[in-house]
């Protein structure tokens, strides 16, 4: 399939359905997703829906896929109306992980994956964050393996406690509410997912200072890591008025209220339902 977020769509899913029909597969045929997050999400959606479900194996080859998207069973596609609006919970029966494939990642792809690693560290606590701050590149295979393992353990722990996102699994959306809106407004042709999440994390920490009294030092420490991985520190050249339609379609929203995942401090996340659109716009303008 063509590379890029634009391929995570119903048209590409239909093309894959056609290929599977031509192969005359049955419900015992395994579908193997070999690639990054887009491949895993799309292939997982196809596996969940073709013949009402066939076995899925994930073989994640990017950092973001190894630490995040191959875990937890969220599969789906994007619509022009918003990101990940069509999907299912369909965990892979098997995930085959090999950190050595990360040797071949372009720097931009490694950096994009580090946005999710930074998110997991903020959710986990100061010890995990200090581990990332103390990394010295180039990383050895052992260091890469430990980075991936630590990050995966954060997500796996949350998913095990709340597999269908009825409660704390929403915390894994830290930084993603604004990130998804940006990706959607750019029609999946601007920032990649990691770049959008990197900026989304900074916005979340700024909102966390206003709403929950988070110490501003954490935004400064985040900024150091965003710069280290060439992730955006300032908002894109986008009119804020293009974002509300996508923010209102965020899956965490309830009763018409925006809900943002914010932090009191690293390791202590909350879903806040009292973030107004005006506050989000103020944050957007401050981070120009």
What positions carry a catalytic annotation? 52, 74, 116, 155, 165, 169, 173, 176, 180, 193
The token pair at 131 is: 């581990």
* Cβ pair 57, 32 in contact under 8 A: yes
What's the rounded Cα separation, in Å, for the pair 45 and 24?
19
Instruction: Give, as one character, the DSSP assignment of residue 104.
Output: G
What's the rounded Cα separation, in Å, for the pair 211 and 127?
24
What's the rounded Cα separation, in Å, for the pair 231 and 115?
8
Residue whose pair of structure tokens reads 């895993």 in the numeric block: 40
List all residues 6 or more positions away from 3 whose beta carbon is below 8 Å from its beta carbon: 38
What's the rounded Cα separation, in Å, for the pair 228 and 219?
14
């Amino acid at each position: 399939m063509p590379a890029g977020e634009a391929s995570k769509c119903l048209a590409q899913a239909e093309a894959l359905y056609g290929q599977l029909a031509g192969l005359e597969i049955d419900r015992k045929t395994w579908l193997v997703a070999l690639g990054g997050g887009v491949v895993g999400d799309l292939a997982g959606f196809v596996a969940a829906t073709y013949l009402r479900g066939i076995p899925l194996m994930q073989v994640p080859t990017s950092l973001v896929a190894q630490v995040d998207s191959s875990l937890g069973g969220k599969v789906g596609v994007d619509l022009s109306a918003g990101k990940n609006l069509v999907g299912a919970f369909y965990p892979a029966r098997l995930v085959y992980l090999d950190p050595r494939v990360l040797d071949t990642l372009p720097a931009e792809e490694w950096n994009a994956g580090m946005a999710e690693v930074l998110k997991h560290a903020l959710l986990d606590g100061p010890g995990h964050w200090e581990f990332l701050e103390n990394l010295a590149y180039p990383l050895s295979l052992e260091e890469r393996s430990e980075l991936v393992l630590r990050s995966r353990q954060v997500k796996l722990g949350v998913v095990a406690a709340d597999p269908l996102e009825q409660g704390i699994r929403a915390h894994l959306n830290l930084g993603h509410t604004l990130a998804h809106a940006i990706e959607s407004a750019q029609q999946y042709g601007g920032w990649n997912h990691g770049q959008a999440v990197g900026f989304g994390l900074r916005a979340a920490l700024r909102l966390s200072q206003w709403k929950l009294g988070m110490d501003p030092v954490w935004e400064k420490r985040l900024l150091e890591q965003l710069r280290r991985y060439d992730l955006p520190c300032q908002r894109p050249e986008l009119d804020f008025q293009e974002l509300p339609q996508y923010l209102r379609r965020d899956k965490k929203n309830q009763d018409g209220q925006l809900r943002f995942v914010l932090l009191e401090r690293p390791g202590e996340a909350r879903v806040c339902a009292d973030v107004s659109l005006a506050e989000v716009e103020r944050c957007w303008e401050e981070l120009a």
